[in-house]
Structure 1
């Protein structure tokens, strides 16, 4: 700091600093009537405060030193993990590993541009043959990584903003019927699962009759099945099963719901609980009282697909889609179906609904000539 004497016995206290945006030196000053120990101390405090404020504003526009993609991903995953459900975190970890493998661990994050990302998404479509929905999930993971990088000043803009992904036109609709079973296929698959194990058969049939997700049905306690005030027996969905343990909340807020059980679903629960020598913790369990594992069930469904020669996608989630298609076939309004299966605004539910109702309209149109 230096002092310049002004006219009328006034003194200008001046300090110099380097602007990080321009690398040029700039000045700040303050004027007092006296030049003594007190005013010099006061001027130093005021000038330091002004310089710090300017440096903070400039610093917010300056990127931190160059950082690699792998470093950002690891930081983001540590930030992300306590904020989401376990399965959400695990799926993002899997996609992040894939992204790092394709884009390169040592890639400097500021060098990632829209051209590189468009080529990457094309690679997901035409090399890995991923579906639209899968590529959308990869885009979501990348978007979260870039947003995190912007918050920590590793990036000053999101490179995804200018990326136009060339999704397959009507890909999911052209293959929509592969997502759910017709009556004959459903009967054959359930019979196959009952032959493997009555526990497997009852569980899969329960999924079809209720539209519950695997984790929602597998985590049901006996106390979660009870009559409501209208005398209907419901399944109170209040959690999900993750690695054999019940989590306190299901997939989304909309997933917390009461699902009315048809008579057959009630009987399945009764038969399942009666099948155990001693009371089990969960409604649906193995002979040893353990929760039914989705890996084992999906493996047997894969065998069923091959043995029964079913040319459709077949997994535990197929029963949920089949439930939606059956409700649509019965004329249940879309908003009621969405509420029942715990979807606020799901594209798959809408597409199945529209597909089934349009098919029903076609059948009606063909029968009008018979009047």
Structure 2
């Protein structure tokens, strides 16, 4: 407990002081013991004591001294307990690569809205994913507000610049283009590629979902495939198997006879090849597509497969349209609509949360669809 008492200063004038325990810092949990002098009355000394105590309990003293780097370190520890390891990895990449160089050494009370806006504008000019960097920064500052280390979140007050308009090449295949691609891949001395990209095109699943499949996820009697896992990269750059993006991503979809036959043929080839390497592919959790150590692939490998296929085709005088692995998801969606599937059927097969997601992301149509739409309208009108 603090003591209040009188003393004489160097001019022999009577003054008041207080000394001793004031409060326990709620952040550091340290007991604050101090002495303050120079008050003309006991009431003044008591008022200053109350102000200091309130300041400590509120944490304002900490707010003036903590840096963004320190806040980030505290936030990261909490963040690891709240989200998937792959999400931690993504946010660390954004923050440590782009945010800490600008904000790291700044005290929290030095961070202004105008400074944040300047940074957002710079990120917008340099990076396509500028809005993700802004969002990650805002998450850290939200934590600062929640912990009462910041009065408000200046990053949330910034204005997000308009997304740059870029001419995008269609990232999907038409029916004929897909047929040309698959016909070429079938000629290659790698049946894995043929089975894998057939599966992507028929199901519309994400590459990370396909790489996380077990052989047992295929039910050949019911002709179904259960999708309930996805691979990702954690913050230590290790590939991990985790739950899908949303509960809607858990799904069981139907498969056609030909795709099942192709997968079964691949399983036989894989079993024989991996037996020679000393691996037993009859285990319960045998991956459909595994690396040479019979373990999870890194997701980037699918991009490498595609690049190899396109380069191989060019060397043989064939120019295939280049799309990304995700383009096969677009392709499946587009061709399902073209084949007459309903919006709900496509939504459930792709594992989207709602119909809006399906229509917003896949608003493109193939030339064949556009032609069919026009013909359907003309037939309906009758003139």
Q: TM-score, normalised by structure 2?
A: 0.70
Residue 143 of structure 1: how far off its partner (Å): 2.1
Residue 154 of structure 1: how far off its partner (Å): 2.1
Q: Find the counterpart in structure 2 of residue 99 from structure 1.
A: 98
Deviations 1:245-289 (CA, angstroms, capped at 9, x unpaired): 663522222211112222232123211111122552112235664
Of 336, 351, 355, 1:342 maps to 351
Q: Find the counterpart in structure 2 of residue 153 from structure 1.
A: 148
CA contact (8 A) 1:218 1:291 kept: yes
- SS of alignment partner, residue 226 of structure 2: strand
CA contact (8 A) 2:207 2:302 kept: no
Q: Find the counterpart in structure 1 of residue 338 from structure 2.
A: 329
Q: Find the counterpart in structure 1 of residue 178 from structure 2.
A: 186
Distance across 2 between alignment mates of 1:318 and 1:220: 20
Matches within 5 A, 1:11-90: 55=54, 59=58, 64-90=63-89
- SS of alignment partner, residue 83 of structure 1: coil
Alignment RMSD, CA only?
Answer: 3.9
Distance across 1 between alignment mates of 2:123 and 2:116: 11
Could you tell me which runs of 5 or more consecutive residues in structure 2 were left unpaired when the two chains were aligned.
Answer: 5-17, 26-42
Could you tell me which runs of 5 or more consecutive residues in structure 1 were left unpaired when the two chains were aligned.
Answer: 3-14, 29-50
Matched, 1:162 2:171: no
Matched, 1:283 2:288: yes
Deviations 1:310-366 (CA, angstroms, capped at 9, x unpaired): 675x33222122212222333433333222222214876323433228983565336
- SS of alignment partner, residue 316 of structure 1: coil
Q: Find the counterpart in structure 2 of residue 235 from structure 1.
A: 225
Q: CA 1:99/1:245 → structure 2, altered by over 3 Å: closer, same or farther?
A: closer
Q: Find the counterpart in structure 1 of residue 198 from structure 2.
A: 205
Q: Find the counterpart in structure 2 of residue 120 from structure 1.
A: 119
Q: TM-score, normalised by structure 1?
A: 0.72
Distance across 1 between alignment mates of 2:76 and 2:22: 36
Which deviates further from its counterpart, 115-124 or 284-293?
Answer: 284-293
Q: CA 1:357/1:364 → structure 2, altered by over 3 Å: closer, same or farther?
A: same
CA contact (8 A) 1:219 1:246 kept: no
Residue 93 of structure 1: how far off its partner (Å): 1.1
Distance across 1 between alignment mates of 2:290 and 2:145: 47
CA contact (8 A) 2:60 2:149 kept: no
Distance across 2 between alignment mates of 1:298 and 1:182: 20
Distance across 1 between alignment mates of 2:183 and 2:348: 29
Aligned residues: 324
Matched, 1:300 2:305: yes
Matches within 5 A, 1:226-265: 226=219, 232-242=222-232, 247-265=241-259
Deviations 1:43-93 (CA, angstroms, capped at 9, x unpaired): xxxxxxxx89x9499616776342222222222222212322222121111
Residue 192 of structure 1: how far off its partner (Å): 5.3
Q: CA 1:155/1:246 → structure 2, altered by over 3 Å: closer, same or farther?
A: closer
CA contact (8 A) 2:59 2:148 kept: yes
Q: CA 1:184/1:359 → structure 2, altered by over 3 Å: closer, same or farther?
A: closer
Q: CA 1:316/1:106 → structure 2, altered by over 3 Å: closer, same or farther?
A: same
Q: CA 1:113/1:190 → structure 2, altered by over 3 Å: closer, same or farther?
A: farther
